[in-house]
Amino acid sequence: MKSHYKVVVIGGGVVGASVLYHLAKYGWSDTLLIERNVLTSGSSWHAAGGFHALNSNPNVATLHAYTIDLLSEVEKESGVNIGMHTTGGISYACNPDRWDALKASYRVFQSTGIDDVRMISVEEILDRCPIVKPDGIIGGLYADREGHIDPSAVVHAYAKAARMRGASIVEKNRVIELKQRPDNSWDVITEQGTVNAEHVVNAGGLWAKQVGRMAGLELPVSPLEHMYLVTEAIPEVAELKQELPTMVDLDGFSYLRQEQKGILLGIYELDHRHWNMDGAPWDYGFDLIQEDAERIEHELTLSYERYPILERAGIKRWVNGAFTFTPDGNPLVGPSRGVPNYWLACGVMAGFMQGGGVGKALAEWMIHGEPEDDTFGMDIARYGQHTANRQYIKETTGQFYSRRFVMTYPNQQLPAGRPLKVSPSYDVMTEAGARWGSSWGLEVPLYYAPKDYVENHTLRRSTAFDIVGKEVLHTREKVGLIDISGYSRYEVKGPKAYEWLDKVFACKIPKPGRSVLAPMLAPNGKLKGDLTIFNWGDGTYWIMGSYYLREWHMRWFDLFPMEGVIVNDLSDAWVGFSLCGPLSREVLQRTTEDDVSNGNFKFLAAKTVDIGLVRAKVGRMSVTGEMGYEINIPAAQHRTVRETLMKAGADIGLRDIGFGASLSMRLEKSYGIWSREFTQGYTPQMTLFDRFIDFDKPDFIGKQAAVAEKETQSAKQLQVTIEVDAVDADASGYEPIWKDGRLVGYVTSGGYGYTIGKSIAMALVDREFAVVGTEFLTHIVGEERGCRIIEASPYDPMGKVLRA
């Protein structure tokens, strides 16, 4: 080992080796991988070795696709035979809902460019896998590029290719401690001595928890046991003319592939079991956990019934090994806020499917400052401090494991780790009938229903459809109250607060007493936020946005320090309500002696208003498109303000409504939201958010790229609003849009517009077709439907209601 490296990667599994390879490939070869034992010891050596093209998160699925392409490239580059068998893969359905879900998934994959998948019949399933019992199977989703590899060989191929590009690897050298110097470099203290590195990467796998604690981080990861078995040779398998495809029995909780002349069968059992939640013992390596067949008896029985030849097959070996899981099953990647030059590449449960993509994204991030693709689905910043709690980690990781193959419906709310955070009016809103969802650990009201109401789980319109519709129409006609505690609130103050905001945001900074919609850009010109800035007129500014992006946005703000500027996250200290509807002004005026008339409190104004006993910060705006007010108050006064407003509006129809109604109404106004219409993979022009950019400002982050896009009109796709000929289901996101058989775009979000009586969606389509009246086809829950572009903001297109 040298005394200094640019990067030290801790962990010699598939992810660490991939990170090392990609760093060297992109030009950072002064890198060292340190492994406490030998390469592959931990999880990599005993992995089942399957690779799959598909994932429920479309952005993660693109990483799968990248990894699959990369495997053969690295094999060729390194000269290491990775034993790659591209057999194709089949996921099959045995009930109508699952079949609908597979059809919908097929169309989503088409939208994201994964075009080597198709729906297949029971007959083709049998033709490709004659050992399966077809009883009850409706059909399947077939992917060409699925199969299996030799796990150990893949790790060694990455490692050898990295070495060939100048990287170094040291085995049998445990990292004992990490110490950060004042210059933010790291002293990596190992059994063989101390190495200084500008950057450290935690690719610790089963030891990621301990390596995180070395830097003062409590990562939301935990190992769980996972079992599979390998049979002895089976004559029927040995006689096959072609290798069996990988088979996923979604309703039987199992996966199967051919292993030489036998079968490998893996189980995701409902009765999960955690293992060493604080991380694996340091001396654990090429070890396995004692198998427990009784614990998976139910799932094994289903598998033996589905593949009868297993009943006559001897079991050659059991594998019960540990893999590291996160609460949502996706990796932890990227920089951790507050710990400079410490990077994560861990929690990668599906290392051989995602390892290549993780390595690529992290190397780009470290070298260029941003990954090429939108990686929020695996960004560590999607989690906050609330996820460090041991019980939270246990409940959520266990829930993910047990539901690995269990179908989750779009309208289904899962119970693990809940309730964690609640607004002060939670109990009275529950008594009023609130049905709750969770946003970054906070309970948010979805809609209000009778106490005995239970929503059905479905891929189509649920029984809550009419409930939400009544809330929408009531708000349009009278007045509704939404708990908006689930908004983020950041305070910016100091003598240079204006200068800081003017640099970080691309918009004009509002004058005192005003607010503005505020795009935030990365240096490459892509979006980093769709926020709102308030100038309260007393020298302080607020930034408001999505609650679940708090850690992500604060990490971004921290990248641009300025002397004399303080940015505080107020999101747990301040909460609020949105009062919206044509009678909202009357309700508000009844609670205050302040003049809230239109002449004194115009649209987008920001004022301090006394509401009953409480002094509130109020913005004249509403995401519903109605005349409305966003009322912000200290958390301790949330319940008092609710009681004050409810009392004031009782006789004119004020009622609670939820975010289901709000989301429907924002679609009727063609208002985009983050993670749907706005992502860090999109640009201002393609999302029409460029209309809020002040191109005349001398400078702001991302200006050069934004100006270039404006001058060249380079956005290939543009955001549009479409009407869908829906029957019993509405678009939700990533449905493909076809023109004359050609894929020309996809839905970003959708739903039902109760006011206009139409199923509507927002979408990105190729620029040449982004014209009102253009007819298309789409697929909703896998079924073909006509659709067409309509004028944006089909409800109140001139904004007269907002400004009333």
- In this predicted structure, what is the pLDDT of residue 716? 97
- In this predicted structure, what is the pLDDT of residue 62? 78
Return d(Cα 633, Cα 498) in angstroms, integer: 24
| Buried b or exposed e, range 145-170, using 16+ CB within 10 angstroms | bbbbbbbbbbbbbbbbbbbebebbbe
CB 36 within 8 A of CB 229: no
Return d(Cα 660, Cα 582) in angstroms, integer: 19
Q: Quickly count: other Cβ atoms within 10 Å of residue 176's Cβ.
A: 13
CA-to-CA dists, residue 264 to 45, 246, 291, 449, 564, angstroms: 15, 10, 15, 48, 62
- In this predicted structure, what is the pLDDT of residue 56? 66
Residue stretches of the chain with pLDDT short of 50? none
CB 535 within 8 A of CB 543: no
CATH for 4-325, among 3.40.50.20, 3.90.1720.10, 1.10.340.70, 3.30.9.10? 3.30.9.10
- In this predicted structure, what is the pLDDT of residue 61? 76
3-state class (DSSP) for residue 696: coil
CA-to-CA dists, residue 179 to 202, 364, 632, angstroms: 14, 25, 42
Could you tell me the residue ranges of all domains in the chain? Answer: 4-325
Q: Which of 769, 665, 754, 641 is nearest to 717 (CA)?
A: 769
Q: Tell how strand 742-753 and strand 736-739 pair up.
A: antiparallel
Q: Quickly count: other Cβ atoms within 10 Å of residue 342's Cβ.
A: 22
Residues with Cβ within 8 Å of 648's Cβ and at least 6 positions away in sequence, in order, are 587, 588, 590, 591, 654
- In this predicted structure, what is the pLDDT of residue 54? 65
DSSP alpha helix (H) spans, 516-669: 550-558, 584-591, 638-649, 659-668
DSSP 112-130: TT--SEEEE-HHHHHHH-T
CB 110 within 8 A of CB 47: no
pLDDT, tens digit (0-9, with 9 covering 90-100), for 373-427 = 899 999 999 999 999 999 999 999 999 999 999 999 998 999 999 999 999 999 9
Phi-psi domain of 730 (left: phi exceeds 0; alpha: psi -120 through 50; beta: other): beta
Which secondary-structure segment (H or E) carries 229?
Answer: strand 222-231
- In this predicted structure, what is the pLDDT of residue 51? 86
Residue in this structure with the two tokens 């660490």, named with its chain if needed: 16
Q: Which of 254, 263, 252, 251 is nearest to 129 (CA)?
A: 263
Q: Give the number of C-alpha atoms closer than 13 A to the C-alpha of residue 73, restricted to the C-beta side.
A: 11
pLDDT, tens digit (0-9, with 9 covering 90-100), for 603-627 = 999 999 999 999 999 999 999 999 9
CA-to-CA dists, residue 321 to 48, 151, 280, 383, 470, angstroms: 10, 14, 11, 26, 51
- In this predicted structure, what is the pLDDT of residue 115? 84
Strand extents, DSSP E, 449-560:
480-483, 487-493, 514-521, 527-535, 541-546
Letter for the amino acid at 720? V
Strand extents, DSSP E, 538-656:
541-546, 566-569, 574-580, 606-611, 614-619, 628-634, 655-656
pLDDT, tens digit (0-9, with 9 covering 90-100), for 450-474 = 999 999 999 999 999 999 999 999 9
- In this predicted structure, what is the pLDDT of residue 60? 75
Maximal C-alpha separation, the chain: 87
CB 341 within 8 A of CB 364: no
